[in-house]
Amino acid sequence: MPLTRFSRKEFKASRWNYQPGEHVATIQPSQGGKTHWNYELASATEFAKPPVALCIKAVDPTPAEWAKKLGWKEIRSWPPPPRWPWEAEPRGYNLWPKHDLSMRQDALEKTQAAQEREFKKLFLSARRGGQPVIAGELYGLLAELHLRNLLIEGVSRGPSAKSPIWYDTQKPSGTPGVSMPGQFFNCPTHLFLGYDPVEQNRKRFSEIGGINTQLVMETVSGCRPSCPPDCQLHIRVVPIPTPYGVKPVSELLYINKNGPRGGYMCIISVF
């Protein structure tokens, strides 16, 4: 079954049909461009309230660069500080709790405690409705910051409150001691899947309801040397020069579970 391939520009301009409260999941291996794609997609999306992106890493150029580009404000805690009467509300926020970068033995514990506290306040306030959260990497939120219950509740009831969660993960099969709950595969309306060479990861996509899961697993297994140049079934990985070195950026398999006749799929090219 061939799939239609769209450029990123065309997809965002004429194929991206997002409704309030719908969850978004991006799944692909590390360094594939997940964070960049979340911001790029957010720039083409109308939200009821300014979205809030969670920033976990001590140093991460991607959120900082996109904040400047999109006019988002970086804040250390939630809720954001009061604005002056003449100040317009930012278009979005990067919630970036301060990291303790000292040599103290408890530096990491202090940093994670601050992140857990501020992120938890955001998720609790989002329950009132309308607040979009771009959560980023699930592993850190589940395993390190103990937000498992709030995340599961959010993806399970978020659409009714129109409080969407956009999240990503690089290892959908989970890790020893940290499972990946099935809600994170079945609840999103929109899924973007990158090339994944690990069979165990691809098997988790069988939990995505309402679609041809065999086609999904075959597509994200990637192009083979025998594939024709115009292959419309498998996605490709393209080495892209960036200011931070050459990155293997994957095309994306897009799954919309609320499309015509119950859903549809297409491939989004790297450019």
> In Å, how far are 9, 162, 228 from 44, measured between CA atoms?
10, 18, 33
Domain that residue 41 falls in? 5-80+91-268
pLDDT-derived band at 212 (thresholds 50, 70, 90) equals confident
Euclidean distance between CA atoms 26 and 37, whole angstroms: 9
Do 221 and 206 contact (CB within 8 A), yes or no? no
237 lies in some domain: yes
181 lies in some domain: yes
252 lies in some domain: yes
Q: What is the pLDDT of residues 60-96, one digit of tens each?
A: 889 999 999 999 999 999 999 999 898 899 999 999 9
Euclidean distance between CA atoms 258 and 189, whole angstroms: 7
72 lies in some domain: yes
Q: Strand (E) positions, the chain?
A: 5-6, 24-27, 52-54, 73-75, 93-95, 133-137, 165-169, 190-193, 237-242, 245-250, 252-256, 264-268
CA angle 188, 219, 23 (to 5 degrees): 10
Q: Which residues contact 187 (CB under 8 A, 6 or more apart)?
A: 23, 155, 156, 158
How high is the pLDDT of residue 135?
A: 93
For the chain, the average pLDDT equals: 88
Q: Which residues contact 62 (CB under 8 A, 6 or more apart)?
A: 35, 36, 39
Q: Residue 125 in 3-state DSSP?
A: helix
Euclidean distance between CA atoms 167 and 57, whole angstroms: 15
Q: What is the pLDDT of residues 26-66, one digit of tens each?
A: 999 877 789 999 999 999 999 989 999 999 998 888 999 99
34 lies in some domain: yes
CATH number at residue 43: 3.40.50.300
What is the total count of domains within the chain? 1
86 lies in some domain: no
16 lies in some domain: yes
85 lies in some domain: no
CA-closest candidate to residue 48, choices 69, 19, 86: 19
Euclidean distance between CA atoms 78 and 217, whole angstroms: 39
